[in-house]
Structure 1
Amino acid sequence: MIRTLQENEVVPLALMKLADDEAKILTYLSVSEVFVLEENQQIIGSCVVKQQSPTTYEVMNLAIAKNQQNQGYGEKLLSAVIQIVRKQKAKVLTIATADTSLPALHLYQKLGFQQVAVVRNYFMTHYPAPIFEAGRQCMDQIQLQLMLSSG
């Protein structure tokens, strides 16, 4: 089940930290909407979406519990979020990830996102400590967008 996290619920911060630094998460969490994916009444996925303009939304954080990864849950959650923001009259949905996040890049492109920019050395200049993924240091940020309507 995919639903909006309610204000009185505990934010799944430990889960979100799989996708971003806690200090960064805290900068966007209060101005974003949190969607969660539950399986057997347990939150196994989260997606944080921030409205950047009346028609542009950004996925700030997308995370699936480690023991649930590579089972299609990320695609299920992101697909649902795409439909939700489309109903909210969004025209563009953006997302960014590290150059080392090949499975994530594959998923985003599979769902129709197209690469629009590369921010060189983003992870070197915007994070206090080096971040490693799959044995490689994250260097560049890959920015992608999905056009939700032709208007």
Structure 2
Amino acid sequence: MIKGVDILDLERVAKYAYQLNLNPQHKCKAFPTDYNDILRQFKNMINHPNNELLILTDHINILGVLALLVEPEEMYLEAIGGVFAENNYKAVAKEFYAYVKDNFKGYRFDAAYPRENEQAIDFMKTIGAKLLDFDYEFRLSKNEYESMTEVGNIILLNEKYYESFVEIHNKFHPDVYWTGERLLEALDKFDIFIILEDDKVVGSIVTSKFSKEIYLMEVAEDKQNLGYGTALINKSVKHAFNNGADELMVMVDKNNLAALHLYEKLGFKKTDTCLTYCIKLE
């Protein structure tokens, strides 16, 4: 039986996911490695009006866990972490997949897994999901973070700069799901910092409040090599750690050498290689 998690089951579910995520064969992408971060993320999800935290149970034991970010207006569904199952992974994943197909027909469904989680990747292939991205996962822990001197005028995005933010964001990320317009409709899910010059947005960084993951960043071409990218990352990292996160992560395209070098310079450590899959739920 698949059911939503209530507050009384929260700690048990978080411990289940935490223990499995320690094993490379079960590890999921964009998922905290710290138990308290997982507990906090799951609590935020069950308190959100659209997101779903699900378990498959035999009425006594947890057989699997699936956390879903849900965007009804955009008909978009994203597995936060992916399917966790200690035993009979394929059977558990099939149950969850049947659930999302029945309840989210017509949605786009994205899920990502580290390369070592072969059972999850094999399952995504068997259902006909397409490979979207091949990225390196980088993580930075709070106890390894060294704050830097702030550069530029960086603030949290507010209504005054919505139009300017959308313009630069969409210019640099024309093919991503999270367009500037969609981000503005989902500000309950993201922290967005912008850097200003002459009262105009010349760069931004988007971080998920749920997974504590840096999603997207850009700096205008004529403002690059001025330290703005470093400053935006530093601001986002500092904000996340000041608001309870013990770790922050980012996925970087394996061919983006400049970004790989930048995150390594700032103390992020490469922890995995992840593959993102996508399928339309028919």
Q: Which residue of 1 aligns with 2:205?
A: none
TM-score, structure 1 as length reference: 0.73
Q: Give how far 1:127 is off.
A: 5.6
Q: Which residue of 2 aligns with 1:85?
A: 104
CA distance in 2, matches of 1:94, 1:112: 12
Change (3 A) 1:111 1:41: same
Q: Please, which runs of 5 or more residues in structure 1 have no aligned partner?
A: 130-136
Q: Is the 8 A contact 2:70 2:78 kept in 1?
A: yes
**From 48, 52, 64, the counterpart of 1:45:** 64
Paired letter, 2:15 = A
CA distance in 1, matches of 2:17, 2:79: 12
Q: Is the 8 A contact 2:66 2:84 kept in 1?
A: yes
Instruction: Give 1 or 2 for the bigger CA radius of gyration.
Output: 2
Q: Give how far 1:44 is off.
A: 1.7
Aligned residues with identical type, % of pairs = 11
2:133 partner SS: strand
Q: Which residue of 2 aligns with 1:2?
A: 2
Q: Is the 8 A contact 1:33 1:48 kept in 2?
A: yes
Q: Which residue of 1 aligns with 2:76?
A: 56
Q: Which has the higher helix share?
A: 2
CA distance in 2, matches of 1:109, 1:74: 12
Name the count of aligned residue pairs.
Answer: 133
The within-5 A match list for 1:1-151 is 1-6=1-6, 8-11=7-10, 12-17=13-18, 18-19=20-21, 20=31, 21=33, 22=35, 25-26=38-39, 28-29=41-42, 30-31=44-45, 32-52=51-71, 54=73, 55-61=75-81, 62-64=83-85, 66=86, 68-70=87-89, 72-86=91-105, 91-119=107-135, 121-122=136-137, 125-126=138-139, 128=141, 139-148=272-281
Q: Is the 8 A contact 1:28 1:50 kept in 2?
A: no
* Larger relative contact order (Cα-Cα within 8 Å, sequence gap ≥ 6): 2
Dislocated runs of 4+, deviation >6 Å: none
Change (3 A) 1:78 1:25: farther
Q: CA RMSD in A?
A: 2.6
TM-score, structure 2 as length reference: 0.42
CA distance in 1, matches of 2:9, 2:56: 14
CA distance in 1, matches of 2:129, 2:41: 22
Q: Which residue of 2 aligns with 1:132?
A: none
Q: Please, which runs of 5 or more residues in structure 2 have no aligned partner?
A: 22-30, 46-50, 142-246, 248-269
Paired letter, 1:45 = G
Relative to structure 2, which stretch is displaced further, 31-40 or 55-64? 31-40
